Amino acid sequence: MNFFAPDRSQYPATKTDGTLDIDLNSGKYLKLWQGPNHPGITGNMSVELTVCGDEVVEGRTHVGYLHRGFEKLMERRTFIQCFPIVCRICVPEPDFNEYCYAAAVEELAGIQSPERANWIRALILEMGRINSYLMYLGGQAGALGQGVIGQWTTYVRDLMLDRFEELTGARIYHMFILPGGVRDGLPEGFEQRMEVTLREIENTLKDVYDVMFCNAVFKKRTVGLGYIDPALLDSYGVTGPNARAAGVAKDVRRDQPYLVYPDLDFAPVIGQDSDIYTRADVRRRDLLMSVDLIRQILARMPRNGPVMAETPSVLHWQIPRGETYIRGECSRGEYGYYLVTDGSGYPRRVNVRGPSYTHAMALLERMIVNVNISDVAALMVSLHTYPPEIER
Amino acid sequence: MSMKPELMKRMVKGPDGVEFEVEPLRDYYCEAPPTVMPAAYSKIVEDLFNWARSESIWILGFGTGCGAIEMRPLMTPRFDAYRYGIQWRPTPRQANLFVISGYLSTKTLKRAIRSYEQMQNPKYVIGLGSCTINGGMYWDSYNTIKRLDDYLPVDLYITGCMPRPEALLAGFQDMKKLIRAGKGEGANQYAENFAWYKANQKRVIHDWDMPDYNW
Amino acid sequence: MTTMTTMRELHTRLKHLFPLGELSEQRPDLAFVTVPAEFLRPSLLHLRDREGYTHLVLLTAVDWLEEGRFQLTYLLSKRTLGQDIGLRVMIPRDGATMASAHDIWPTAATYQRELREMFGIDFPGSPRVDEDFILEGWIDIPPYRRDFDTLKYAQENYSQRPGRETRDPATHMQQQLYPDGRQG
Amino acid sequence: MPFDWMKIPYTLLTLFIVINYGFLLNALIQKIGARVGRRHGIPIWQNYIDLIKNYGLRSSISHGVMFYLGPVFRLSGGVGLLIFVPTIYASDMFSNLSFAGDLILALYFVFFGTLGMALGAGESGHPHAAIGITRGLSQMTAAELPFGLAVFSVALQYQTLSITAIVAAQQGGILNWTLFTNPLAVTAAMLGFLGSMMRPPFDVVIAPQEIPIGPPTEYHSSYLAMMQTNRAIFPVAKIVIYMNLFFGGASDWPTFALKVFLIYLWSAFVGVVFPRFRVEQSIRWFLIWAVPLGVLSILVV
């Protein structure tokens, strides 16, 4: 019956050694570069597509366009000098770099960050999560040609950036969570203004739900497309919403609670169908959950107390030899820092493990085969990849 | 440096069975180096054109760095740059302004140069953020260039890390003043000092596996 | 402390099979153990199939230049217990080669490509391991090695804009904090 | 009858009016779309400035003679469509070069521009352009089908192929419009109209996120300016046909402006909130929904 989309699961043919049987000189195949200069790409990366007709037979992810060598730069900076550059690693959600780095340094240096600082850290992380999700919703709709959603979500994202600005003093790079605690407490009347912003976000999400998720064309494009087999989650290192949309409740906030998450009551958002539509819906509900979490945090957090622990003088701050791994649940999945110290005043090795590292490389290259060219952008956006996590 | 196979000269057998030769570097890419394009003959016409160019700036939608994240708010309700005749074009052929949004790794520099050379004369470049001026945060990085104007003719720098959208809007206004005053001649400057620019670029980009000019 | 005990039990169980090093417990839910290089793949398979550590969190290397060794760290995670165990593998620094794990975890191929490019550690048989991953046309020694000086490379290869002054933070803050010159 | 030479300057005057109206209309539609996104949008005169700028660009690269002829074909398609269709009913000045069988000619011109684009974009040698133009031709064909059926049914209904005669038959009260005398045909035609306006959900041809930006990818400076001019003429000219065939034509310029704006708005409203179909989905959509309506309308007549 399905005349327009026949079953191509056995295509392209594979040679005996398992590699794809593609002869570029036969004139049947066409090489297309999607990106880096391409509106449908997420960030500054590129996918090398080999298409036959309207269908992708092979996809190769190319990264490295944003490589700055952070892990090398941090090896020649003192522990406090690393703090201002870590947030530059990931633009849409920089705070997780600050938190993971600060927590790793605190653990190895034996510093206990104050109670109030932990609450403020959780608050900032949830605010950053909302920003990232709002950007994703706009991108997902935009990849399918529905630009108006991006207009609305970016509008409320600007409101959230205003809250960031009055809390930390910056729009994008906040540099607020430093080893030992946070820089400052909440300003006067922050709760009320945040409540107004949260209401605005909830109203906008209602419109987004009506226009985007109830849209027949959007469903036609996304339902059943980009299926991730739940059995592949672990072997491909899939974490975060991509895994939760497949029915596996992978959420670091529940599995290995950090900061104040044990005191907050929430349940990981689960989807079942594991296609693009489900991933978008999981992220939308997760966004609403973050709104609820922010309300809980603001209601329960201690009003006064220190926000900064006692740290050694930055001139003579040396940390004994050790290694640790700190992880947190960012909006794209599990974000982790692997820190090794050798007793000197500089970190021996810092390794940033972003969720996109596996999503955009191995997983995308597997999923992109037998996909229509029109759906490549939507598929890539639905994995919510972000290149700087891959190459740092 | 070895050349990618799809760029090499080869015989291709079409689906209809006809063999024909393909030399991508000659068939698909323009080999002529850029030339200096004179302004319009009469000053009035040139002024009119400059006014039109300044009032309709089409930006190439190529987010080369983290500064690209502040481009989104510029297109959206809070800072609506469309009011000032600023629009985003997805293809370099139709763009006039190239906003280098942040640091450039050498790998991106190669693509940025290619996109810039595909744009039509007159074309303008805005360097965004401290890292395009002197390296900024990445002053000791082994993979990012330190000053942009060695590789591309920059008309305007916008400082900050990262610059706020208001700063970008102000920068666009200054850009308009420059263009209207007839100072936006970056493309001709690039064509005049072409050898110098190419030398700088090749000193940094070691793997020049890209259609090159035939000198 | 249940998780800690299970971690110790796991260590004892493994010691019967493989010549492991001592268990260094970083956190109740995170421990590191040293494995000889030739026993890495069996222990990885055992941990994945028998013990349920099915998620390869990360694979990275540390360059111990003084000892002339690379440390490879395979961090495995077991979500049901919320436990992580990191396997350390020490390999000689010159001519560093390691058995590939891309058939155990497909994502390992990506990590191995990066290690090959950034540290020069070879993983024979790993798919596309010799292709450019992040860098393009790199001419110097692998950049993440400790003996690669990024500042020197940047100054030699990239033209600097004059007028930028960089201070050594220690001496600068010394002068800022103790202008009278005494050692703080 | 002897050819009335005075028709030619009048036709050029019509062309001039329609071009300016088309520019303002495009800007207006864009502003409406921006309003939905809570923006102000571009200034109403922005398109004129863009046009001057594109003509004022100094360099332009040609990929061969067909590359140059593509926009020319497209423009001549728009102009030809306009000048052979009576713009204002029952006025000697603005009924243009319409003649007895102009309906067939109009149908031909609607398709002419796309064919020219296909040749030009094919020569530009950009894969995205090639993909876009294949999508464009297939979708255009699918969208033309219901429109053609509707036109035939209308022609059968009024027993004529002259647009003037069809408009004449619709005069005298809104109930005489084809919209009410033959609603099935009008519905089918308006669905086809959506497909031919290059707006979501049927803008997969120029989809920026997939094949930036389809056929015009390689077109720049003066080529692009020529296409912009056509983009101002062509929709209006097409809408004039729809107006004449289905909505009783226009007997003076204000009516003309109002009706064209409303018909254009119909496609804009649909386009603003919908994502885009894949090309085979859109073809399927036309075949399933629009074509049966057209066939039905013919049967009814």
Number of B to C CB contacts under 8 A, please give it. Answer: 58
Bigger pLDDT: A176 vs D33: A176
**Residues 58-87, chain B, touching D (beta carbon < 8 A):** 76-77, 80, 82-83, 85, 87
pLDDT number for residue B125: 92
3-state secondary structure of C34: strand
Averaged confidence pLDDT in chain D: 80
User: What distance lies between CA D154 and its chain's CA centroid?
Assistant: 19
Residues of chain B contacting C143 with CB distance shorter than 8 Å: 142-143
Q: Which of A61-75, B136-150, C33-47, D180-194 has the lowest mean pLDDT?
A: D180-194
Residue D263 placed within a domain: yes
Does A249 share its domain with A306?
yes
Residues of chain C contacting B144 with CB distance shorter than 8 Å: 158
Residues of chain A contacting B98 with CB distance shorter than 8 Å: none
Test the D interface: residue of B56, B96, B119 with most D CBs within 10 Å: B56
A7 pLDDT higher than 70:
no
Instruction: Kindly determine whether residue B146 and residue C136, on different chains, have CB atoms separated by under 8 Å.
Output: no
**Alpha-carbon span D112 to D101, nearest angstrom:** 17
Instruction: Kindly determine whether residue A215 and residue D274, on different chains, have CB atoms separated by under 8 Å.
Output: yes
Please indicate if any CB of chain A lies within 8 Å of the CB of D269. no
Confidence bin at B6 (pLDDT 50/70/90): low
Instruction: Kindly determine whether residue C137 and residue B205, on different chains, have CB atoms separated by under 8 Å.
Output: yes
Q: For chain A, list the contacting chains (3+ Cβ pairs, <8 Å).
A: B, C, D
What is the CATH code for C2-134? 3.30.460.80
Instruction: Kindly determine whether residue B76 and residue D39, on different chains, have CB atoms separated by under 8 Å.
Output: yes
Please indicate if any CB of chain A lies within 8 Å of the CB of B87. no
Bridge partner residues of B144 (DSSP): B105
Out of B49, B85, B94, whose CB is closest to D224? B94
pLDDT (average), residues D231-258: 83
Ranges of each domain in chain B? 58-204
Residues of chain A contacting C55 with CB distance shorter than 8 Å: 234, 237
Most confidently modeled of A194-198, A211-215, C174-178?
A: A194-198
Out of D40, D60, D221, whose CB is closest to B83? D40
Please tell me the distance in Å from C26's CA to the nearest CA on chain A: 7
Residues of chain C contacting A71 with CB distance shorter than 8 Å: 144
**Alpha-carbon span A32 to D210, nearest angstrom:** 11
Instruction: Kindly determine whether residue D59 and residue B120, on different chains, have CB atoms separated by under 8 Å.
Output: yes
Does A33 share its domain with A135?
no
pLDDT number for residue A60: 85
Rg of chain C over Cα atoms, rounded to whole angstroms, equals 21
Instruction: Kindly determine whether residue A155 and residue B76, on different chains, have CB atoms separated by under 8 Å.
Output: yes
**Alpha-carbon span C72 to C119, nearest angstrom:** 11
Residues of chain B contacting D59 with CB distance shorter than 8 Å: 37, 120-121, 187
Q: Are A276 and A220 in contact (CB under 8 A)?
A: no
10 Å Cβ neighbour count for B122?
Answer: 22
Please indicate if any CB of chain A lies within 8 Å of the CB of B182. no
Q: Are A115 and A191 in contact (CB under 8 A)?
A: no
Core vs surface per residue D183-216: b (16+ CB within 10 A) or e: ebbbbbbbbbbbbbbbbbbbbbbbbbbbbbbbbb
Number of domains in chain D: 1
Q: From residue A336, how far is each of B93, C146, D238 by CA, in Å?
A: 41, 23, 58
Instruction: Kindly determine whether residue A155 and residue B68, on different chains, have CB atoms separated by under 8 Å.
Output: no
**Residues 18-37, chain D, touching B (beta carbon < 8 A):** 34, 37
Q: Are C91 and C117 in contact (CB under 8 A)?
A: no
Please indicate if any CB of chain A lies within 8 Å of the CB of D234. no
Residue-wise pLDDT tens digits, A146-163: 888 888 999 999 999 999
Residue D251 placed within a domain: yes
pLDDT (average), residues B183-204: 86
**Alpha-carbon span A325 to C30, nearest angstrom:** 8
B130 pLDDT higher than 70:
yes
Q: Are A335 and A329 in contact (CB under 8 A)?
A: yes
Please indicate if any CB of chain B lies within 8 Å of the CB of A142. no
Instruction: Kindly determine whether residue D273 and residue A146, on different chains, have CB atoms separated by under 8 Å.
Output: yes
Residue A129 placed within a domain: yes
A6 pLDDT higher than 70:
no
Bridge partner residues of C122 (DSSP): C97
Residue A345 placed within a domain: no
Number of A to B CB contacts under 8 A, please give it. Answer: 101
Residue A135 placed within a domain: yes
Q: For chain B, list the contacting chains (3+ Cβ pairs, <8 Å).
A: A, C, D
Residue-wise pLDDT tens digits, D144-191: 888 888 888 888 888 888 887 888 888 777 777 877 778 888 888 888
Chains B and D lie in contact, requiring 3 or more CB pairs less than 8 Å apart: yes
Does A201 share its domain with A157?
yes
Out of A32, A38, A375, whose CB is closest to D127? A32
Instruction: Kindly determine whether residue B77 and residue A65, on different chains, have CB atoms separated by under 8 Å.
Output: no
Please tell me the distance in Å from D32's CA to the nearest CA on chain B: 13
Does A181 share its domain with A306?
yes
Q: Which CATH number fits domain B58-204: 3.40.50.12280, 3.40.50.11030, 1.10.1580.10, 3.40.50.2000?
A: 3.40.50.12280
pLDDT number for residue A131: 92
Bigger pLDDT: D94 vs B213: D94
Residue-wise pLDDT tens digits, A297-307: 999 888 888 88
Q: Are C81 and C5 in contact (CB under 8 A)?
A: no
Residues of chain B contacting A26 with CB distance shorter than 8 Å: 12-13, 15
B104 pLDDT higher than 90:
no
Instruction: Kindly determine whether residue C79 and residue A255, on different chains, have CB atoms separated by under 8 Å.
Output: yes
Instruction: Kindly determine whether residue B140 and residue C151, on different chains, have CB atoms separated by under 8 Å.
Output: yes
Q: What percent of chain A has pLDDT over 90?
A: 22
**Parent domain of A263:** 79-317
Nearest to A144 by CA among D281, B71, D193: D281
Confidence bin at A13 (pLDDT 50/70/90): low
**Alpha-carbon span B160 to B157, nearest angstrom:** 10
Instruction: Kindly determine whether residue B91 and residue D41, on different chains, have CB atoms separated by under 8 Å.
Output: no
The full DSSP string for A319-337 is: --SEEEEEEEEETTEEEEE
Question: ipTM above 0.90?
Answer: no
Pairing label, strands C30-34, C83-92: parallel
Structure tokens belonging to residue A366 = 């597997």
Phi and psi at residue A326, in whole multiples of 5°? -115, 130
pTM of the model: 0.89
**Parent domain of D26:** 7-300
B3 pLDDT higher than 70:
no
10 Å Cβ neighbour count for C13?
Answer: 12
CA atoms within 13 A on the CB side of A95: 26
Instruction: Kindly determine whether residue B69 and residue A65, on different chains, have CB atoms separated by under 8 Å.
Output: no
10 Å Cβ neighbour count for A192?
Answer: 10
Please tell me the distance in Å from B187's CA to the nearest CA on chain A: 20
Q: For chain C, list the contacting chains (3+ Cβ pairs, <8 Å).
A: A, B
Averaged confidence pLDDT in chain A: 85
Does A98 share its domain with A13?
no
10 Å Cβ neighbour count for B46?
Answer: 15
Confidence bin at C129 (pLDDT 50/70/90): confident
Q: What residues contact residue B133 under an 8 Å CB cut-off, 6+ apart?
A: B127, B147, B148, B157, B159, C161
Alpha-carbon torsion angle D229, B71, A203, A252, nearest 10: 140
3-state secondary structure of A371: strand
User: What distance lies between CA A18 and its chain's CA centroid?
Assistant: 33
**Alpha-carbon span A72 to B142, nearest angstrom:** 9
pLDDT (average), residues D252-279: 82
**Alpha-carbon span D242 to C148, nearest angstrom:** 72
**Alpha-carbon span B45 to D58, nearest angstrom:** 12
Instruction: Kindly determine whether residue D274 and residue A32, on different chains, have CB atoms separated by under 8 Å.
Output: no
Chain B residue with minimum CA distance to A151: B76
**Alpha-carbon span C162 to B135, nearest angstrom:** 12
**Residues 349-388, chain A, touching B (beta carbon < 8 A):** 388
Confidence bin at B215 (pLDDT 50/70/90): very low
Out of B11, B70, B105, whose CB is closest to A66? B105
Please tell me the distance in Å from A353's CA to the nearest CA on chain C: 7
Number of A to D CB contacts under 8 A, please give it. Answer: 80
Please indicate if any CB of chain B lies within 8 Å of the CB of C28. no
Structure tokens belonging to residue A360 = 């955009």
Number of domains in chain A: 2
Out of B70, B76, B141, whose CB is closest to A68? B141
Please tell me the distance in Å from D217's CA to the nearest CA on chain A: 12
Q: What residues contact residue C178 under an 8 Å CB cut-off, 6+ apart?
A: C184
Test the C interface: residue of A256, A364, A369 with most C CBs within 10 Å: A256
Residue-wise pLDDT tens digits, D211-232: 777 778 888 888 888 888 888 8
Test the C interface: residue of B130, B143, B196 with most C CBs within 10 Å: B143
Show the DSSP H helices in chain C as ranges: 2-17, 40-49, 108-118, 150-157, 169-177
Residue-wise pLDDT tens digits, C7-43: 888 888 888 888 888 888 888 888 899 998 888 888 8
